[in-house]
Amino acid sequence: MTLPGFNDNPTIQKFIGLKKFFRSHETRISRERIEDFKKFSKLINYGGDEVAFDILGSLNFGQATADSDTDIVMYTRCEDGKMGECGLENCYKISLFKHMFLNLVTFEHNSHAYKLEIVDCINLNQLEKDIRENDESSALLIRFCFYRSICRGVNRKLLHRYENLISERLPLWESITKSVEECFDGIIVSSQHTYSFHKYAGRLEEKGIKLPGSMAAKIKDYLKQ
Ligand SMILES: [Zn+2]
């Protein structure tokens, strides 16, 4: 089961609609990269550990090209049940996984390897604790719900376990919803985001795919905000 969703939030609904549209015209490079993440999480699984990802940026919209960077959120349980935040600088596992992933990419794509940008890391030990304690002010928990609402997950089975825990606690979900909506509003006003939509629409047009009128209207409507 996934998170309850944002049925009352027209902006988030619009965003998800646009994402679906762009994804239905996914590039070959996007498909290949998603496969890399799936392979990697299976590999880690065979080794008895677990990892999952949320994909951001152009790959989230299925519009990655050869020179796109890949922006991701990495989910894993820190070693020895360690709590707190994990990052490239302070967590051995994150840097190890990044290193292993880049090896896989080099092996699979040789000279067409690409850059991996870890935008955020979520320590699932701490996430579970925050959920069980109904900590509605947990930044980690809010970030998790935000990414889960707008990104593209890989190894979603692992993520659903935590989404279930949240969904079972409706009062917790309701208070987090507000914070997630604030994150979203923050993104919408940033110019970077607006630029991305123009860029993706331009890429489709280059391939002779014209946006349906209704979709073009939706994008305009979206960008107006
Ligand atoms: Zn760690």
Please tell me the distance between residue 122's alpha carbon and the centre of ligand 1 in angstroms: 9
pLDDT < 70 stretches in the chain: 1, 191, 222-225
> How far is ligand 1, taken at its centre, from the CA of residue 91, in Å?
4
Distance 124 CA to ligand 1 centre (A): 9
Buried b (16+ CB within 10 A) or exposed e, 85-96: ebeeeebebbee
Q: Give me the number of domains the chain comprises.
A: 1
Q: Tell which phi-psi region holds residue 180, choosing left (phi > 0), alpha (psi between -120 and 50) or beta.
A: alpha
Q: What is the pLDDT of residue 111?
A: 78
* Structural domain range at position 141: 10-224
Ligand 1 center–CA 50 separation, angstroms: 13
Write down the pLDDT at residue 133: 98
Residue 2 is assigned to a structural domain of this protein: no
Residue 193, domain member (yes or no): yes
Q: Which residues of 6-43 are buried (b: 16+ CB within 10 A; e: fewer)?
A: beebeebebbeebbebbeebebebbeebbebbeebbee
Residue 103 confidence (pLDDT) = 94
What per-residue confidence (pLDDT) applies to 194?
74
Strands 116-123 and 152-154: unpaired
How far, in Å, from the CA of 66 to the mean position of ligand 1? 31
Residue 58 lies in a domain: yes
3 lies in some domain: no
